[in-house]
Every structure is written in C-alpha cells, then in structure tokens.
Amino acid sequence: MNVVLVGLSHKTAPINIREKLHFPERQLPEALELLRSRYEVQESMILSTCNRVEVLAQTSNLPEGVRRVRDFICSFHKVSYDTLREFLYDFTQIDAVRHVFRVAASLDSMVLGEPQILGQVKNAFTTAQNVGTIGVTLGQLMNRAFFVAKRVRSETTIASSAVSISYAAVELAKKIFNELKGKTVLILGAGKMSELAAKHLASSGVSKVLVWNRTYLRAVELAEIFKGEAIQTEDLFRHIERADIIISSTGSPTFILNKDDGQRMIHLRKNRPVFIIDIAVPRDVDPEINKVSNIFLYDIDDLRNVIDANLRQRQREAQSAEEIVRQEVELFLEHSRARDATPAIVTLREHWEAIRREELARGKKRLGELTDEQEAALENLTQGLMNKMLHGPISELKRLSRQPANEDHIAAIKRMFGLKE
C-alpha cells in the first residue's frame, strides 16, 4: 500500500491561494485522466471544496509519487511550486490514512463536526470511480473512511447542533444587525450552500428572501421553498438595491459584483448600509468593493471568529472522535499489512514448491526405478523439509504484517528467499 496525499486547506493557505487551485466539478474527469496518463499515478481521487484541495493517490514509489502529484497540481493550475511551497502539505502511508479518516469525520474542517464534508468526499470518490481511477487500494481506504465517519457521528455528539459555513454566515449577520427581523436578504446562487443559508435566515425572522441564479428555474425552486421571490437572471441589478444582506455562493469563475457595482448599489440605497457575505471559492465579490462607504464585505476566511465560538463547544467530543480515528487507523493498517503479506506467503510457498519438485525429479533420475513406497517416502521427506524451512519466514511474515511499519522487513524476507518485489 503506497498511498500519498498532497494538498492545502484553510489551515495552511488563505483564500486567494486556495482559489488558485480550485478544481471546478466539470474539470475533474479531465484532471483525473491527466493524472493517470501523464503522471503515471495508478489510482487517484481529487477533493476540491471551499476550504481544501487535496489529491489522494496510490503510486509505486512514495517519494516519486509525492513529486508527481505536486507537479500535476502546479501544472494543471499553471502556478509555480515556489508560489505554493509554503502552503502545500503532503502525507504518506499511515499519515495519509489518518488524514483521510479525519477529513471524512469532519475533524479537520473549519467548522468541527460539520456534515457537508462527508458528502463532498463521497462525491469526489464517486467521480473518481466513474472515471475509473479508483482501484482496490483507494476503494478499501475510502470505504473504511466512510465507516469511520459514521462511527464518529453515531458514537459522539460532535455534530449534535447543525453548524456549517452558511450557518456561521447567518450568525455573523445577526451580530452586525442585532436581529434580522424586517431585513431583506438576497441569495446569489441556488446551490447547497445557498439553500442552507436561506434555511437559517428564514428561521431567523428575515422579512424577505430574494433568490438569483444563473439558471432562473432553479432560483424559482429555491424561492418557493422559503416563500421568497425569484429574480430573473438578467434583472439582478434592478433588484440588488433592495437587499440589506447579500449572501453569495455561485461558483462563478469571475466576480459577479465589483467596486463599480457597489457604488451604484449604495447610491440607489441612498447610503443605507449593506452587508455582503461571500462564501464562494473562487470568490464572487471583488474585495475592492469593501472600499465603498457603507458596504461591509466578509469572505469565507472572515467567518473564523464565529466558527471559533462553535469549536469550543465541540472540542470535548472531538477527543472521543480522535480516539475512534486512532483505533480505526491501527485496524485498517493491520488488515492492510495482512493483505500485503498474504500474496508474499502464497508466492513463497509456490516458489519453493517448484524448486522442491524440480530437485525431486532430478534425484529420482539418479536413483533409478523406485517402488511406490520409496517415492512416497521421498515425497514426505522433501515436503517435511520444505515445511520446516518455511515455518520461520512464514511466521515472521504474519507477525510483521500486524505491525504498522514493517515494509522493509517484509521486503528483506522476499529478497532472501528469491521472491520478486
């Protein structure tokens, strides 16, 4: 099992770096195919969310595998490694397994215990399966990761209170306006994040929810759920001044709102303040808009203070969740080592059985014609000698397979007995 993971997250890189490495969903099949064909990665999947971009791969050589995945990330996004060096991390083997389990269980999320990440990991896995870049190694690893996430949610209360980026955005809006009663909210984008934000806003007493989306019918669907109003795609700037709060998460590759749009909006609002939360990656709103008087822009990184308050409530449960991850990492590696050792044991027996039969046939020729009893005695003698000779190395292979870091010892035994790596 040669597993490597290379990536960055909200813990290591600011949003302006993360958005440079974002993989749009439509480009994932192309990226996975490129990783397999040009970079000779045997298995792979790509997880790309607002808060992290990670490439998980199974390779024939660990150091070379890390280098190839790094080269792929830099080349695909046309960003130099020097630009990314301080932000990227890489994990191999047991560290990669532990990281994957922690991510799936939401122990590495900006909002500890948030439920969205598991769905995102499953979607990334399904995409890779459809492309054909998931094999035995990553298949077993990811299925175990999903089981670990389920254990964490069923055996702890880490996700007992629904918290997400969209929830944190609404909490921030409450702090700024004291209360949301009587406020008009404009949702830009009708995806899952926007739907969650609208759900939290509706329960917080806003008087009006406006929904705009590049696909108008989707805007209508979301608006109907919350008894809001859908805005025609081309009519955004006829209605934008109505909004006291704007929450944007569209997935657009370019800015939807810029500084000029902000100046026009404030003019139409007669200088009444507007609060904008941009939870999209790449960002929907040009940061320059913050220079316009009475516009208060917050992006996904600005939500940290709200999120930190929720983190403190979940730390105690996180300790129990981390113990579950520790147990599952050890169990997975024990099973993995056993799977790795089994082919070696089978090959060892087959290799020496072939040698035994060859030498037995050669000996029979020298001895001449033998009785059935003599042939049986020779068969039993050589079989017994082989079993005694292999008992030690086979027992050692089984023992080593239960330990977390014995690949070198197993490889040495293979070489000693003439087995190919």
| Least confident among 91-95, 199-203, 408-412 | 408-412
pLDDT of residue 302 exceeding 70: yes
| Least confident among 176-185, 226-235, 407-416 | 407-416
DSSP bridge pairs for 301:
none
DSSP bridge pairs for 55:
6, 46
pLDDT of residue 170 exceeding 50: yes
pLDDT in tens, 390-406: 888 777 776 766 554 55
pLDDT of residue 388 exceeding 70: yes
Architecture label for domain 165-303: 3-Layer(aba) Sandwich (3.40)
Q: Which of 50, 148, 289, 410 is catalytic?
A: 50
* Residue matched to tokens 């822009």: 297
Torsion sign over Cα 213, 215, 216, 217: negative
For the chain, what is the mean pLDDT? 87
**Secondary structure (3-state) at 253:** coil
Cβ neighbors of 302 (< 8 A, separation 6 or more) are 172
DSSP annotation of 96: H
Which tops the pLDDT comparison, 6 or 317? 6
Which tops the pLDDT comparison, 8 or 351? 8
- The yes-or-no answer to whether 3-161 and 165-303 have a common fold is no
Is 50 tagged catalytic?
Answer: yes
| 141 in Cβ contact with 239 (< 8 Å) | no
Strands 52-58 and 3-9: antiparallel
126 vs 139: CA distance, rounded Å? 10
| Amino acid identity at 101 | F
pLDDT of residue 335 exceeding 80: no
pLDDT in tens, 2-56: 899 999 999 999 999 999 999 999 999 999 999 999 998 989 999 999 899 999 9
Say what the pLDDT of residue 404 is.
47
Task: Round to the nearest angstrom and report the end-to-end CA distance of the chain.
Answer: 13
b/e per residue 337-376 (b: at least 16 CB within 10 A): beebbeebeeebeebbeeebeeeeeeeeeeeeeeeeeeee
- Residue 386 CB coordination number (10 Å): 15
3 vs 366: CA distance, rounded Å? 52
pLDDT in tens, 264-277: 999 999 999 999 99
416 vs 421: CA distance, rounded Å? 11
| Amino acid identity at 170 | V
Q: What is the CATH number of domain 3-161?
A: 3.30.460.30
Listed by start position, the domains of the chain span: 3-161, 165-303, 335-366+404-421
DSSP annotation of 47: E
| 21 in Cβ contact with 12 (< 8 Å) | no
